[in-house]
């Protein structure tokens, strides 16, 4: 008899993405990075579609403000919209356009982690929250950055403490030019960096980011997906997603910045 094990289910999500991520690269090498990047976005969005509740879409897209027809977010690699009661303004060829009241989450996907890639992710995610808050300060759009590799390529040796220090520096530089309240509302909520590092960002009453990083033994992808599902669940049912409790029991090792 096989006993239920939801931790193994979380691990299977990570393993699935890991095994699929390099199929295009293995066949075409370095000849077309754009196609490889698009494939990685598709893999994550396709997995999310399978586990998200009915009435939530996961596609490339834009958020446009209902109060200002000229205000539009940057293109978001994965935009989660709640379409249970209101359809998107546009939905064609895996591209959606929705309004802030529909936006649940925005995800920026990168093949590798680096300073320029991190900056791009922060700018894209900032635009999603900025447009949403333009319509309603109470709107809570969850944002996350997803990096398939922690280094320049798969398997590259990476010091997690150095990565966390880079994240801390980039987020502080990104939010400190804003007023305190704006910092808390515009910063990212979670970053998954390679298969082993997950970073959660919380903000105090002054908008100062509190960064909690964990080494999670190849479960980062599953932890990130659980974070997305938990936010959607909290919006739909006002309750935590059942996988969150299982994830908390795994006792990940906290990683502190190098400095």
Region 83-102: what's the mean pLDDT? 94
Average model confidence (pLDDT) across the chain? 85
- Residue with the bigger pLDDT between 230 and 254: it is 230
Contacts of 259 (CB under 8 A, 6+ apart): 165
DSSP label at residue 19: H
Q: For the segment 63-84, what is each residue's pLDDT rounded down to a tens digit? A: 999 888 889 999 999 999 999 9
Tell how strand 103-112 and strand 76-82 pair up: antiparallel
Asked if residue 207 lies in contact with residue 217, where contact means CB atoms within 8 angstroms, the answer is no
Q: For the chain, give the longest Cα–Cα distance.
A: 60
- The answer, yes or no, to whether residue 221 has pLDDT greater than 70, is yes
- Residue 253 CB-density burial (10 A; 0-12 exposed, 13-18 middle, 19+ buried): exposed
Q: What is the pLDDT of residues 173-197, one digit of tens each?
A: 876 555 545 544 578 999 999 999 9
To the nearest 10 degrees (0 to 180), the angle between helices 220-236 and 6-21 is 120
User: Is residue 209 predicted with pLDDT exceeding 50?
Assistant: yes
Alpha-carbon span 180 to 185, nearest angstrom: 9
Average pLDDT over residues 109-129: 93
């Amino acid at each position: 008899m096989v006993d239920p094990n939801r931790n193994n289910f979380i691990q299977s999500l990570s393993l699935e993405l890991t095994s699929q991520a390099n199929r295009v690269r293995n066949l075409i090498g370095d000849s077309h990075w754009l196609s490889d990047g698009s494939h990685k976005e598709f893999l994550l969005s396709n997995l999310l579609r399978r586990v998200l509740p009915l009435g939530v879409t996961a596609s490339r897209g834009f958020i446009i403000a209902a109060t200002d027809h000229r205000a539009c977010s940057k293109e978001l690699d994965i935009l989660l919209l709640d379409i249970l009661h209101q359809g998107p303004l546009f939905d064609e060829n895996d591209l959606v356009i929705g309004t802030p009241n529909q936006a649940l989450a925005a995800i920026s996907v990168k093949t590798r982690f680096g300073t320029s890639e991190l900056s791009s992710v922060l700018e894209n995610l900032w635009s999603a929250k900025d447009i949403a808050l333009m319509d309603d300060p109470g709107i809570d759009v969850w944002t996350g950055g997803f990096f398939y590799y922690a280094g320049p390529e798969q398997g590259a040796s990476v010091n997690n403490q150095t990565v966390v220090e880079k994240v801390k520096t980039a987020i502080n530089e990104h939010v400190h030019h804003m007023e305190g309240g704006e910092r808390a509302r515009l910063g990212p909520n979670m970053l998954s960096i390679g298969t082993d590092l997950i970073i959660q960002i919380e903000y105090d009453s002054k908008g100062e980011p509190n960064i909690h990083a964990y080494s999670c033994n190849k479960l980062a992808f599953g932890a990130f997906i659980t974070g997305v599902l938990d936010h959607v669940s909290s919006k739909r049912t006002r309750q935590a997603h059942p996988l969150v409790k299982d994830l908390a029991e795994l006792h990940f090792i906290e990683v502190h910045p190098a400095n």
